[in-house]
Structure 1
Amino acid sequence: MLIIPIQDKPDWSHPPLITLALIALNVFVFLFYQGNDAAKLELAQDIYHNYQLDDIERPYYREYLQEYHPENVAHWDSRHANGSPLTHAMFDVEYEHYLREVWVDRGQNIEDVNGWRDGRRAFERQRNTVSSLQAGLVPAEARPVSFITSMFLHGGWGHLLGNMVFLFLFGFTLERALGAWRYLLGYVVSGVAAGGLFVALNPSSEVPLVGASGAISGLMGMYLALYRLRKIRFFYSVLFYFGEFVAPALWVFPVWVAKELYGHFFVDSNTAYWAHIGGLVAGVFVMLAWPVSRREFASQEAHNDRAAHLTEQLQQVQALAANLEFNRARSRVRVLCEQHKTDPRPWRLQFNLYKNQPRDRVFHEVTFAALKQFVQTPGAGREWTTAADEIAQEYCALSPEAPALTAKLAQALAQRFLQLNKKDRAEVYAQWARQKMATTRRASASVPNEP
């Protein structure tokens, strides 16, 4: 079963640099560090065979299986009765501890026990240079640094590519919501917590834990806690059935946990399901610890929803205009200007709907209202600045006398553009204000006094 959110689309105007860096680091480690594992293993096998450890250890490995894994004895006999190499024994770390006891209790039965020990130690030194043993998280011998290094190792191309897809899927939203460093901290904390729970529940395991799955599960938990009870879209796939559904984000959390528990108890695989659960839970708590980030994200998402809804309404107005229903289009856009006073898009569209009638009084009123709104909008951004300047320039081109661009309004525009460090545009409107004031003075001087 697969359930993933499809609520967000990547915003490449603000690329997720930390997420892309994490992906690049994982790929780099896999190619240039883990890529040497095959050569390391081949050298380890050569050492094993050169010291003739196959012949010496064969009976002891069978005894080990009889004592600790009797269910595997028959299978082992069927494969190794003819004296084939003990490939599996070479990498069974639990078996090594059994060998230590053999050296003490029964080593005297071996003709050259010291040679055997030396050969075994030489083999283990070389074999332990393999990435999963050198940098993986082995619960029975957990080192603090391995909680971090294990997060950048993977068991194969499928493991790597699957994790990187999910890392990007959740990472680009969380990085935008939290900021780069809080996002990175949440990723690392989730990965460490995932490894911690796995070690706590498997303290004697000699099998190394590798992969970014725990940290990525943490991102999944952070994602759900970020949206909380807001309804978002999910894609699901169960066997041959797939589709979409909408649900409050946190409702999916118990489903994800249940899926991991089912995998742990009923699926025969080497997947570290407890690490996934640990990451999920840690991610939720990490996000709940940052309420400011959640509130900021919720506010931004509400703004984005309003902007998206306005975009849809503006498209409807444009469709009316395309069908030559100008009166309906103008009526609709007038309402949108009142409802979204600080957004330049409806004002720009309203100007466009009237500019084909430059002699109409309403055209001048619409232009004056748009430019006045720009001046009165605190913190007007680049989009508003560009729209206002374009409206003013087009207006002057269509109506050279520009009655709507009064001296007072031109002066206000000059001040606003100066505040925005647009000195060249500020000078244009300042010059226009001076011309308007001069024209007004000449008109006043030409009026005769009453007797």
Structure 2
Amino acid sequence: MIIFPTEKRLEMSRAPFVLIALILLNVFIYFTYQSGDNEKAGRAIESYMERNFLEQEYPIFVDYLKAEEDKVTLERVEQFYYDEQLVNVAASILMHTEFYSHLQRYAKSEFELSFYNEWRRPRQEIQDQFSSISSFSGGLISNDVSVSDLLSHQFLHGSVSHLLGNMVFLFIFGYAVEAAIGHLRFLVFYLVGGVFAGLAQVVTHLDSGVPLVGASGAISGVMAMYLAVFRFKKIEFFYWVLFFVGYFRAPALLILPFYIGKEIYSYMTAVDSNVAFMAHAGGFVAGAILIGVALLLSPKLLDQSYLDEDQDFSPRQKALAKIYSAIDALRFDSALTQLNQLIQAEGLDYELANIRYNLNRVVRNKTFSRELNEFLSLSNLSIEQKKELAQVWQTTGEQYATLAPDELLKLALKILTPNNSVAAKSIHERLFQLETRPADLKLLTQKLMEVFAQEHDHHNLSLFKERYQSLTQECAHGHL
């Protein structure tokens, strides 16, 4: 289930300069400063493996983890070793800076003197190289905290998906908060919230040497500010539950129990997760306190005209809001009636056809097959919509669609995209069984061969090459 607010639209008259700058800075840092991290880590691990340090250090590392009662890391590393994923074992050892400190103290007694003399200097160089990656040089490490790291960790991310997820949620909540409280105050509160998020993680994991990176703590603070700004004001929310998507209006604080519940559930169940839940909690509390104190000191702080400004909804948006409201109340028949009225007024497009399809999967009325045919016959679709339509065909189309052969052929050609050949192949099989004209099937067969070649699917490529030759021969003999 996904729920997030969509109350305010982005307005250039209140352009969120700080928010845009923060997003651009995060993106710039990831794709420039952090771009060499994988290469640095790879070189360090390669050197470590080539010198056979793993063979000597692994037993000591296991004993160290047992002594530290770090069962989670121990189980993970032993599984890597058992599965012969030695690169992952090496990475785990190099990431564990406390273990290296332990090794430096006890290496002379653990290793033979000849090996120790060969090990000491290159091992330091390898560790220095590995520790130069951004998460160690700029991340927040609980057992080695610096003031600069309390700020820098907020602008580092572990992956593209980590960066993208954080920036999306920063944008969703951030631009309305910046418009409501002002540019400078938003920047200060954002950074301070991130600092307190980091401190919350530190004080709850004092012995940890795992670096904390990411803007999620600061973003949790922004979420708290968003709720404090709108409070009990009824705002628009977007939701996505299973195959239902829509909008509804409710007090802003409605999102609070969902957020807290999700965090507590994740914290209690995701024991091995690398998500910093305490940082989320610290940032949220800090954001709430910051905006609360600011409002106490300056009750007229908020841009009330902006908050009271009504959204300019189009007739279509208003009609969709009523439809989603009916769906939310499980009044599916009413939702279908209103949806059909909207389709009659505006015509059938992909969004409306998709809503009708999902409703029909629940209600399954007499017109389901016909309306499914209409959905599958839509044109001018995006790449993503074509992939979704291919999924529709695989889910219900094969069983319930009653398209004529020429319409099936159009559908197959429409949804056939690289790495998405399954649905088109199943349509080809149906057309082949229906003894469709060879000339028509040739084109689809050729297109499928091109996709199979891109997918490196040699089995299907060989099969459809034979079929293409057979169809060519039939065409040559006049079977058009």
Q: Could you say which residue in structure 1 is the equivalent of 2:273?
A: 269
Mapping 1:152-163, distance limit 5 Å? 152-163=155-166
Task: Give secondary structure in 1 for the equivalent of 2:13.
Answer: coil
Q: Could you say which residue in structure 1 is the equivalent of 2:204?
A: 201
Aligned length: 309
Mapped to 1, the partners of 2:114 and 2:172 lie a distance apart of 60
Structure 1 residues 202 and 84: CA distance shift in structure 2, 3 A: closer
Q: Which structure would you say has the larger Rg?
A: 1
Provide, for residues 376-417 of structure 1, a one-character-per-residue CA deviation record: whole Å limited to 9, x for no partner.
Answer: xxxxxxxxxxxxxxxxxxxxxxxxxxxxxxxxxxxxxxxxxx
Q: Could you say which residue in structure 2 is the equivalent of 1:43?
A: 43
In the TM superposition, residue 192 of structure 1 has moved relative to its aligned partner by 0.7
In the TM superposition, residue 289 of structure 1 has moved relative to its aligned partner by 1.6
Structure 1 residues 177 and 76: CA distance shift in structure 2, 3 A: closer
Structure 1 residues 83 and 297: CA distance shift in structure 2, 3 A: closer
Mapped to 2, the partners of 1:234 and 1:24 lie a distance apart of 26
**From 113, 119, 124, the counterpart of 2:122:** 119
Q: Could you say which residue in structure 2 is the equivalent of 1:93?
A: 97
Provide, for residues 419-448 of structure 1, a one-character-per-residue CA deviation record: whole Å limited to 9, x for no partner.
Answer: xxxxxxxxxxxxxxxxxxxxxxxxxxxxxx
In the TM superposition, residue 79 of structure 1 has moved relative to its aligned partner by 3.0
Structure 1 residues 259 and 85: CA distance shift in structure 2, 3 A: closer
Mapping 1:349-364, distance limit 5 Å? none
8 Å CA contact 1:2, 1:236 repeated in 2:
yes
Mapped to 1, the partners of 2:129 and 2:88 lie a distance apart of 22
8 Å CA contact 2:45, 2:90 repeated in 1:
no
What letter is aligned with 1:192? V
Structure 1 residues 308 and 187: CA distance shift in structure 2, 3 A: same
In the TM superposition, residue 295 of structure 1 has moved relative to its aligned partner by 3.5
In the TM superposition, residue 163 of structure 1 has moved relative to its aligned partner by 1.0
Unaligned runs of 5+ in 2: 316-480
Q: Could you say which residue in structure 2 is the equivalent of 1:231?
A: 234
Mapping 1:238-317, distance limit 5 Å? 238-267=241-270, 268-291=272-295, 295-297=300-302, 299-301=304-306, 304-305=309-310
Mapping 1:322-401, distance limit 5 Å? none
In the TM superposition, residue 126 of structure 1 has moved relative to its aligned partner by 1.0
8 Å CA contact 2:221, 2:286 repeated in 1:
yes
Mapped to 1, the partners of 2:142 and 2:218 lie a distance apart of 17
Question: Does 2:174 correspond to 1:174?
Answer: no
Q: Could you say which residue in structure 1 is the equivalent of 2:213?
A: 210
Question: Does 2:83 correspond to 1:79?
Answer: yes
**From 142, 145, 152, the counterpart of 1:149:** 152
Mapped to 2, the partners of 1:257 and 1:82 lie a distance apart of 39
8 Å CA contact 1:152, 1:211 repeated in 2:
yes
Structure 1 residues 280 and 241: CA distance shift in structure 2, 3 A: farther
8 Å CA contact 2:4, 2:237 repeated in 1:
yes
Mapped to 2, the partners of 1:167 and 1:221 lie a distance apart of 12
Mapped to 2, the partners of 1:217 and 1:119 lie a distance apart of 42
TM-score by length of 1: 0.62
Q: Could you say which residue in structure 2 is the equivalent of 1:407?
A: none
8 Å CA contact 1:138, 1:209 repeated in 2:
yes
Unaligned runs of 5+ in 1: 313-451
8 Å CA contact 2:180, 2:303 repeated in 1:
no
Mapped to 2, the partners of 1:82 and 1:27 lie a distance apart of 32
Structure 1 residues 114 and 302: CA distance shift in structure 2, 3 A: closer
Mapped to 1, the partners of 2:307 and 2:56 lie a distance apart of 71
8 Å CA contact 2:221, 2:288 repeated in 1:
yes
Question: Does 2:194 correspond to 1:191?
Answer: yes
8 Å CA contact 2:4, 2:238 repeated in 1:
yes
Task: Give secondary structure in 2 for the equivalent of 1:95.
Answer: helix
Q: Could you say which residue in structure 2 is the equivalent of 1:12?
A: 12
Mapped to 2, the partners of 1:229 and 1:84 lie a distance apart of 49
What letter is aligned with 2:305? Q
Q: Could you say which residue in structure 2 is the equivalent of 1:33?
A: 33
In the TM superposition, residue 211 of structure 1 has moved relative to its aligned partner by 0.5
In the TM superposition, residue 154 of structure 1 has moved relative to its aligned partner by 0.6
Structure 1 residues 206 and 85: CA distance shift in structure 2, 3 A: closer
Mapped to 2, the partners of 1:219 and 1:194 lie a distance apart of 12
What CA RMSD, in Å, does the superposition of the two structures yield over aligned residues? 2.9
In the TM superposition, residue 38 of structure 1 has moved relative to its aligned partner by 1.9
